[in-house]
Structure 1
Amino acid sequence: MINRKRCDGNPSISLSQRPGSLQVRRSFAKDEKPEDPVLKEEGPSESDGERGRDWTTSLLLFLLWGAIMYYVFNLAPNQTPSRDMYFLQKLLNLKGDDGFRMNGVLVSLWNIMGVWPLVYSMLLLPTGRGSKGSVPVWPFAVLSFFGGIYVLLPYFVLWKPPPPVEEAELSRWPLNFLESKFTAGIVFLAGLGLISYAALVGGGDWSEFFQYFRESKLIHVTTLDFTLLSAFAPFWVYNDMTSRKWYEKGSWLLPLSAVPFLGPALYLILRPAAKTVALVSSTSEQK
């Protein structure tokens, strides 16, 4: 569907497909005409976000978030609070070298949790951001660097399909950074290095880590955070893939997105640019 609206005497054309798909809006000067000859005049239509709102899913996600938060604060093991504080200070580099060797798996997990929010930011902007009038995604994306999935889940509850994206917006910060193949490559290599490090530390570190997991709230909650981020990633990969109209060509990546961290990070490298796909696909489907 293509909508043409006027604002301040300048026609603006919105190329759109279906609820949930990425839309790019192009603005033309007063004397400039769009190249596509099949554009039709249409009146205002119902918001894609309102049509796509699924209250059942939102309610289930809200209940899931409530259950997870109850578990984190009331049921997660908390046998070693003083050791947790020591580990936290070591991981944040607030303690100097005192001769204690930190568990390699824990170090890898802690560092990869600092990269996961960047992966989600690249999936949520622009194709996962909410529709006009809904809660903006950026506060949740920023806070997820500190709170992980526990901060992102409320956004998932409130999410609605995205609004049209101004073409010029894709070339501005932060979308140009989040759409960059260079950024995606750095994210993938960082994750690959951290996961490889954890895999090669040896069985002793893994046995120690599992013991920590059974005793420590810090490690238990962080591991749960990593697991939930991995579990939700395939949906957002699918959403981004269909929004870019790349499902037919890129569907083979969907099973791979279930591989923790590396699957979604690989998708970010291989996915087409939002600007190119949205404009080319939208115009070609009208012909």
Structure 2
Amino acid sequence: MLANLHLISCNFSSQSFDLRPRSSSSRQTQSLHHPKLPRLLPKAGFNQPFLLKHNENFPIQRKGSIQICRSVLKSPDDPEKEQEGLKESKDVGARESRDWTSSILLFVFWGGILYYVFNLTPDQTPSRDMYFLLKLCNLKGDDGFRMNEFLVSLWYIMGLWPLAYSMLLLPTGRSSKSKIPVWPFLVLSCFGGAYALMPYFVLWNPPPPSVEESELKRWPLNVMDSKLTAVNGCLSLLSQQVLLAAGLGLFIRAGISIDDWGEFFQYFRESKFIHITSLDFSLLSLFAPFWVYNDMTARKWFDKGAWLLPLSLIPFLGPALYLVLRPSLSELAARSEPE
């Protein structure tokens, strides 16, 4: 019962009251004969209401006699409400104070890239470009023509980039404030590469939302992130290792084909298709270190994994190596649980 008591503070009048004890005879004499006290008893019978006439010399002031009393203690729910209010105010302040400079610059850069792709890239061999595209997609049979090994390696690596970015952007690359889903851009990146991902980079606003434990058990996070469960963990680790091994094999294949390098550079200067594909690979390699850093900080693994950040500058192989070595979110959650 004492725990529910509240302290009440009231602002009473500044005039003091005489609280000294007096004898009963003196109190009666003062109440009946004191000239400055108002008459409290009516002259007529008890049926009339009591009247209290204010006197100018009465010690209680007329104005300010009604005071506002407030509790100095808070109810048990107030701290939680206060924390929620502070969190909401911080979110509102963050939304209002968002700096759009980087997004605007990135949008201008994306627009410039698209203008270059559609208007300034070389287009001297359109028929040969279509032939190369059919050969690389295995839509044209063996006609005795030997494809450039460097071009073949580049084409297959471009097919692995969307998988690598899916592992980086799901879930730590999602945007919690702009509410823009990432999966449509990842699907489009299978066909458009960096040209389809850059609009999401423009709209992205950190930090990413928290991932619930039930979400880690659902597709695609159970395959791309989990390493603890038997089946999903093996699939996740296998996909990451296959990604690294395939990329390493393609780089080795391109590296040993030294005789094809000169031919590839000639294609680059003449072919629109090869020019755009090479630029796409360069853009994906350029943005990958940032998303590796974002994923690393979101997992709070920067202290242990900072040595991988310079390696992420290596095109494709650096981010693929990070994906193999990084801890999963479920593993980090298991470590943080108290024993």
The corresponding residue for 1:12 is none
Is the contact between residue 289 and residue 309 of structure 2 (CA under 8 Å) also seen in structure 1?
A: yes
- Listed as ranges, the matches of 1:1-287 within 5 Å are 41=80, 42-44=83-85, 45-46=87-88, 47=91, 50=95, 53-131=98-176, 134-161=179-206, 162-179=208-225, 180-202=236-258, 204-278=259-333, 280-281=335-336
Q: Deviations over 1:243-263 (max 9, x none)?
A: 000001100000000000000
Secondary structure at the counterpart of residue 314 of structure 2: coil
Distance 2:134 2:266 in 1: 20
Q: What TM-score do the two structures reach when normalised by structure 1? A: 0.81
- Cα displacement (A) at 1:280: 4.2
What is the CA RMSD across the aligned residues, in angstroms?
A: 1.8
Residues 52, 215 of structure 1: alpha-carbon distance in 2 compared, 3 angstrom cutoff: farther
Q: Which has the larger radius of gyration?
A: 2
Secondary structure at the counterpart of residue 179 of structure 2: coil
Distance 2:269 2:178 in 1: 43
Which amino acid counterpart does residue 102 of structure 2 have in structure 1? T
**Same amino acid, percent of matched pairs:** 67
- Cα displacement (A) at 1:277: 2.2
Q: Deviations over 1:109-146 (max 9, x none)?
A: 00000000110010000000111552100000111010
Is the contact between residue 107 and residue 202 of structure 2 (CA under 8 Å) also seen in structure 1?
A: yes
Give unpaired runs (5+ residues) of structure 1.
1-39
Secondary structure at the counterpart of residue 211 of structure 2: strand
Distance 2:244 2:144 in 1: 32
Could you say which structure has the greater relative contact order, defined with CA pairs below 8 angstroms and 6 or more residues apart? 1
Is the contact between residue 234 and residue 264 of structure 1 (CA under 8 Å) also seen in structure 2?
A: yes
Q: Deviations over 1:171-220 (max 9, x none)?
A: 21001111122211110011011111000112x20000000000001000
Residues 258, 77 of structure 1: alpha-carbon distance in 2 compared, 3 angstrom cutoff: same
Is the contact between residue 172 and residue 298 of structure 2 (CA under 8 Å) also seen in structure 1?
A: yes
Mean alpha-carbon deviation: is it higher for 259-268 or for 53-62? 53-62
Q: Which has the higher strand share?
A: 1
Distance 2:101 2:177 in 1: 21
Distance 1:121 1:185 in 2: 15
Distance 1:172 1:213 in 2: 43
Q: Deviations over 1:19-65 (max 9, x none)?
A: xxxxxxxxxxxxxxxxxxxxx83315233973784311110110010
Which amino acid counterpart does residue 163 of structure 1 have in structure 2? P
Residues 112, 153 of structure 1: alpha-carbon distance in 2 compared, 3 angstrom cutoff: same
The corresponding residue for 2:18 is none
Is the contact between residue 257 and residue 267 of structure 1 (CA under 8 Å) also seen in structure 2?
A: yes
Q: What TM-score do the two structures reach when normalised by structure 2? A: 0.69
Is the contact between residue 181 and residue 268 of structure 1 (CA under 8 Å) also seen in structure 2?
A: no
Is the contact between residue 50 and residue 160 of structure 1 (CA under 8 Å) also seen in structure 2?
A: no
Give unpaired runs (5+ residues) of structure 2.
1-78, 226-235
Residues 279, 164 of structure 1: alpha-carbon distance in 2 compared, 3 angstrom cutoff: farther
Distance 2:127 2:97 in 1: 47
